[in-house]
Amino acid sequence: MTSSYSAKQIQVLEGLDPVRKRPGMYIGTTGPRGLHHLVYEVVDNSIDEALAGYCTEIEIEIKEDGSCSVTDNGRGIPTDTHPTTGKSALETVMTVLHAGGKFGGGGYKVSGGLHGVGISVVNALSEWVEVTVWRDQKVYQHRYERGIPVTELTSQPDPDNKRGTRVHFLPDAQIFTETRDFDYNTLAGRLRELAYLNAGVKITFIDRRQTPSREEVYCYEGGIREYVSYMNRDKEPLHQDIIYVSGERNNVQVEVALQWSVDAYNDNLLGFANNIRTIDGGTHLEGLKAVLTRTINNIARKRNKIKEHESNLAGENVREGLTAVISVKVPDPEFEGQTKTKLGNTEVRGIVDSLVGEVLNEYLEFNPQVADSILDKAIQAFKAAEAARHARELVRRKSVLESSPLPGKLADCSSRDPSESEIFLVEGDSAGGSAKQGRDRRFQAILPLRGKILNIEKTDDSKIYKNNEIQALITALGLGIRGEEFDSSALRYHRIIIMTDADVDGSHIRTLLLTFFYRYQRQLVDQGYIYIACPPLYKIERGRNHYYCYSDRELQLRLREFPDNANYAIQRFKGLGEMMPQQLWETTMNPESRTLKRIEIEDAAEADRIFTILMGDRVGPRREFIETHGSRLNLLDLDI
């Protein structure tokens, strides 16, 4: 008698009372998160059935009354009598804490951890639950209220001989005092995610609370591969196929899908353990990152993209532009951290590393063009990071020593007051020579730029910082680092004047410089620091008089004023270098007589679009743009 009494005691301890007393211990909160947790718990049981290979379809239905029903076509919860409880297996699963997983018979329940508290918790926290099981040519039904069976387990013949389980429940208002309303988007998001994570499982979601009712079907034969291509839908892929790894070692299943994009600079790595999103990462992501870095570096050396004496690419270089999903299934997951969203199982790190290493290596060996494009992208990222670090150090050093290493070819002005100082950016050494001689050195500085400066639209930070002309510009002007906040107090001149020849080359260089300023530190343009000098195209000499003309039209007008028999000579300036220093001063540099065009960009977004089209790689849109907006381009004085 005593022994059966104590057995009853144990039964009580394992019962559902503690769940109702302290629901937070089992589902985290009794707010909206906990409420949705109930659905996930039931769905996870069906997903486990799918993972075991017995279930292909799951239907989740929110009914008009706010209850939720989850139906699957799995084996159905067993209904025979359970040896230790003396109750049906179904009732045991529904009323004994943590009993659900113990019925798997050898297999493991993968949906442990955050969820996986057992379907009995849903039962405990529901006003009622009705379970329907189809198996053995019968339909079984059992109803519970607040965790307690209120009917016998009934059975009826099932002529259809179906298989499956339905768990239909209404969350208990006594527990969920804040809200009992399921959120469509929250559920839809998680169900879609589950469909991506469990390739081929068809998940139907129906919401009958709205009329007409809303229904969506999620089913992805490609699984996480489709997830990656969905995330990359608006990006340009660096390689067409999504690299895919799937394997199992020591009962740990690993699945990884990878794709790099051309135009992305961040990485986007999503980790899952037992279908649970591991927001705080963990050993699976550590393993993935380690193997990516090692494999890419090995291949880079093998393909001689990194020389022996050069240092390795860093992990973040390798991951630049990468979208990846890693999903692992672990028999006994350990979830760590405040929010229990970090996978802790140490064995997973090495398993991911070795499984992914083998496949990735082989894939890249067989697809050398993919390997090369990934390597090139990583190397670019590496150089950009190096250059950015260099530039930062330069700026830091400068501020420490309080002396800026100004470029040697800068002819600086004597004034140290930026508000009265101006700098002429001049194309070529010969024009630079004229400008140096013609200027007023008290407030005018000259920086000659050689050849074509880099088109920064088409390049990355590393090239920008390495380019001599651009380095000279950055230091001469006192610009900070690209993308960092613009500090106008560091600016050494408040008028930055682009002075180029009035020909095609000159206008190209002007465009490149404008693009540089716009892309490097847009505020320079926005705040009106950038100007364009307007050198004359012609000089007319007539007797002791001379006239400068700044356009063909001006030339025609002037000539029309002359009498028919007038004697005059026209000089056409092919470049600034042809002008005498005094001429250049008079016509183009003297604030009393010159014309300057200030670059003003009213609509930054539109300007950005224009710059992208004009300076980018895509010839099609550029041609089209010039064809339709050709005349408007004068606005920015960009003629290409």
C-beta closer to ligand 0RA: residue 59 or 226: 59
| Closest-CA residue to 208 (of 63, 36, 39, 67) | 63
Q: Is position 460 annotated as part of the catalytic site? A: no
In the three-class reduction of DSSP (H, G, I as helix; E, B as strand; rest coil), residue 609 is classed as helix
DSSP 211-272: SS-EEEEE--TTTHHHHHHHHTTTS-BSSSSPEEEEEEETTEEEEEEEEEBSS--S-EEEEE
Q: Provide the minimum distance between the beta carbon of 162 and ligand 0RA in the complex, in angstroms, as a whole number.
A: 13
Q: Provide the minimum distance between the beta carbon of 91 and ligand 0RA in the complex, in angstroms, as a whole number.
A: 12
Residue 499 has φ and ψ, to the nearest 5°, of -125, 100
- Kindly list the residues in this chain that would bind ligand 0RA in the complex (CB under 6 A): 45-46, 49, 72, 74-75, 77-78, 103, 165
| Closest-CA residue to 500 (of 431, 445, 598, 578) | 431
Residue 208 corresponds to which tokens in the numbers above?
A: 């009958």
Rounded-to-integer distance, Cα 184 and Cα 205, Å:
9
C-beta closer to ligand 0RA: residue 91 or 412: 91
* Helix, strand, coil percentages for the chain (3-state, nearest 5): 40, 20, 35
Rounded-to-integer distance, Cα 8 and Cα 185, Å:
44
Rounded-to-integer distance, Cα 84 and Cα 92, Å:
10
C-beta closer to ligand 0RA: residue 165 or 462: 165
| Closest-CA residue to 18 (of 110, 85, 117, 86) | 117
Rounded-to-integer distance, Cα 274 and Cα 333, Å:
8
Q: Provide the minimum distance between the beta carbon of 100 and ligand 0RA in the complex, in angstroms, as a whole number.
A: 6
| Closest-CA residue to 89 (of 159, 138, 39, 153) | 153
Q: Other C-beta atoms within 10 Å of 331: how many?
A: 15
Q: Is position 80 annotated as part of the catalytic site? A: no
Rounded-to-integer distance, Cα 51 and Cα 426, Å:
69
Query: Is 377 within 8 Å of 320 (Cβ atoms)?
Result: yes
Query: Is 464 within 8 Å of 552 (Cβ atoms)?
Result: no
Catalytic one of 91, 286, 461, 501: 501
What's the Cα-to-Cα distance from 113 to each of 339, 469, 494, 505, rounded to whole Å? 11, 58, 61, 66
CA atoms within 13 A on the CB side of 536: 24
Strand 530-533, strand 596-598: pairing? antiparallel
Q: Other C-beta atoms within 10 Å of 240: how many?
A: 7
Query: Is 525 within 8 Å of 517 (Cβ atoms)?
Result: yes
Catalytic one of 336, 347, 372, 505: 505
What contacts 539, CB < 8 A, 6 or more positions away? 546, 547, 548, 549, 570, 571, 573, 583
Strand 57-62, strand 126-135: pairing? unpaired
Q: Is position 178 annotated as part of the catalytic site? A: no
Q: Is position 552 annotated as part of the catalytic site? A: no
Buried b (16+ CB within 10 A) or exposed e, 277-310: ebebbbbbbbbbbbbbbbbbbebbeeeebbeeee
Angle, helices 504-520 vs 468-477, to 10°: value is 60
Catalytic one of 41, 61, 427, 469: 427
Q: Provide the minimum distance between the beta carbon of 96 and ligand 0RA in the complex, in angstroms, as a whole number.
A: 12
Rounded-to-integer distance, Cα 17 and Cα 11, Å:
11
Residue 343 corresponds to which tokens in the numbers above?
A: 């996978």
Per DSSP, helices labelled H in 59-107 are: 89-95
Q: Provide the minimum distance between the beta carbon of 89 and ligand 0RA in the complex, in angstroms, as a whole number.
A: 7
| Closest-CA residue to 151 (of 141, 161, 159) | 141
Active site residues: 427, 501, 503, 505
